[in-house]
Chains A and B, each alone.
Chain A
C-alpha cells in the first residue's frame, strides 16, 4: 500500500497538467489562503473590538462554538445550491466553498484575537490611557501588538482548519487536493486517495511551520522567548546594600575553619 502511494506520488505524469499535483496544490493553497484572509478580515476587527471593550464576550463564545459545530459538508451543499441560483455561475461554487472554509476559520481567530486583547495587563491599558492615548491608539499601539503571539496561534489554528477542510471543495466540482481524495475514493484508486490525503497533511505541516516562524518574528522580542537570549547576555542582579557582605562572609568563615 505504501509502495503504491509512493509510486503514485513519484509518477511524474501525476504532477503536471490541469489535473496535476502542482496545479491541485496551487488551487488548494488558493482556497485556503483566500478563506483565511476573509476570516481574518471578519474575525480580527470583531475580536479586537470585543476584547477592547469587554462587551459581547458571551456572544463570541456562543458564536464560535456554534460555528465550530457546523456540519461543513451539509453547509457547503446548501450554500453551493444557493450560490448557483443567485451568483454568476463562474464564481458561485468558489464563493460557496470559500465561505464555508472562512466560517470554519473564523472561530479560532475570533477567540484568540479576543483572548489576546482581553489578556493584556490592565495596568498597561490603564497606563496607556492615562498617558493620553485614544481608544484606537490603545488598541493599535498597545493591545494588538501585545496580542500578536496569540493572534498567530489563532491564525495557525485557522490555517490548519481551512487546509484540512479545503478538500471538501472537490465535492462541488472544484479542484484542490480534495479532488484526489474524493475521486480516488469513488474510482477505487486508493493510492491516489491516500496520496492526496498525504499531500494535504504535508501542506498543513509546511504552512503551519511557516506561520510559526513568521509569528515569531512578527511578535516583539519582549513577548517571545527571544528575550531569554537577551537575558543571558545582560543578566540582572539585584543589589542589596549588604549584598557584598553576605556573599563574602561565608568564605571568611570557611577560611577561618582551615
Chain B
C-alpha cells in the first residue's frame, strides 16, 4: 500500500501544486489519477519515486517513508513509464529494457535474456530486439518503455500519461494490452491520465484530482459514473455518463437475428453480369422485395461490410459506395455500451455480432439492445439467464472503405 499523509507541494513563488492530500493506493490494483492538467496528479505520482519531494506530509510505501530510502535505490524498485517514453536512442531495444537490472548489478548477458522474455510479454516480436528506438513506431516505443519499467520486476509501476502521445487506434491497443498485462502481473500500478475514458477503461480505483491540487473523489469506475461526489466530478466525467455507465453493465443475452449474407465473389460477379441477372437474383435483390442491406462475408465467415443493394445495377462496376464498412463489432464478453454502439453505428441499423474468432454469429437491432438495458436496470439483482452471450470487450475500429481511399 502506498499512502499519502497530508502531502502538500508548494513551488517557489507560492504556487500550490498539491494541497494536503490523504490517500491510500491499494496493493495489486491499478489506480488511476485523473483530472484536468495542472491539478497535481503528475506531481503526486512523482512523489512516490521521489522525483518530486513533498513540501509537507509524508509518502510511505508499506509503512516506510520513501524519504528514508536512498532516492536511486528507491527508484530502481519502482517501474517508471512516462508520456514521451524517454528511450535511450543510443541503446538497442534489448539494452534499453536491461537498464535497471544492469544498474542493479545483474550481468549484461542475464539482463538481456530477461529483456528478451519481456519483449514477448509486452507484445513485441523478437526481431525488434536489436533495433534502435528511432526505428520503432510510437506504439512499439511505448511497449518497450513498459518492458523497461518491468525489467527488474518491481512491485510498483508508475505510469505518467503513457499512452497519450500515440494515435487513437494504437492507444486502444495499448490500453487493452495494459488490462491483459495487469491481469497477469497484478502489480500495484499508479496511472496518470487526463482522459476520463482511459481512466474508466483501465482503473480498478479512480482518483479524481481537482484544480488547486486537491482530490475531488476516490471511487471505483461504476460508482464514479453513478454517483459523482460533486459538480466538478460530474462535469469532468461528462454529460453522457449515463451512456458511459453501460460500459460496466454486462450485455447479457441478446436476441440475435440472421442477416441476409452475400459472399464476396458473388457480389463481384453480379456486378459484372451485364444484365443477365438470373443467377444473381439473391445478390441483386433490391426492388425484388429483398432487404436493401446484405452482409458481405468472406470465405471464412468474417463479416466484410454491408452491401447496399439500392445502388447495385447489373453491368455497372462495383463501386466503393456499394460497400459500407462503418460500424463496430459486437464481440463475446462485451458490455451493453458496446452492443448499443455497434447497432447505432451500423449503416443497416443492425449491429454485427461475431464470435471469438471473428466469425459472424448474427445481427442485433438497437431496439433489442435498449430492451436489454431496460432489463438490466429493473432486474439488476436477479441472476442472468443463460444463452449465447454476445458482446465485445473493446471496440475494434473497422475502418471504412472510404477511409482507405
Contacts and interface: CB of A to CB of B under 8 A. Distances in A.
B100 A123 contact: no
Interface of B: 46, 49, 51, 71-77, 80, 82-92, 99-100, 103, 127-128, 131-137, 140, 145, 148-149, 158, 169, 264, 268, 271-272, 304, 317-320, 325, 396-399, 401, 403-405
B401 to A, nearest CB: 6
B397 A241 contact: yes
A234 B127 contact: yes
Interface string A123-139: 11111111111100100
Given A227-B132, A236-B135, A253 B319 contact: yes
A231 B264 CA distance: 37
B313 to A, nearest CB: 13
A246 B398 CA distance: 10
Contact of B51 (A123, A124, A130, A253): A130
Nearest to A149: B90
B86 A123 contact: yes
Interface stretch (A49-57, A80-88, A207-215, A218-226): A218-226
A245 B158 CA distance: 38
Contacts of A123: 82-86
B383 to A, nearest CB: 35
Nearest to A130: B80
Contact of A236 (B75, B140, B271): B140
Q: At the interface, is chain A mostly helix, strand, loop or mixed?
A: helix
B82 A240 contact: no
Interface string A108-123: 0000000000000111
Contacts of A121: 84, 86, 89
Contacts of A134: 72
Given A227-B134, A245-B325, A247-B404, 20 more contacts: A123-B84, A127-B85, A130-B51, A130-B75, A131-B103, A132-B74, A146-B90, A220-B89, A222-B91, A222-B133, A223-B89, A230-B132, A241-B396, A241-B398, A242-B398, A245-B399, A245-B404, A256-B271, A256-B318, A257-B317
A231 B135 contact: yes
Given A130-B51, A132-B103, A256-B268, A222 B132 contact: yes
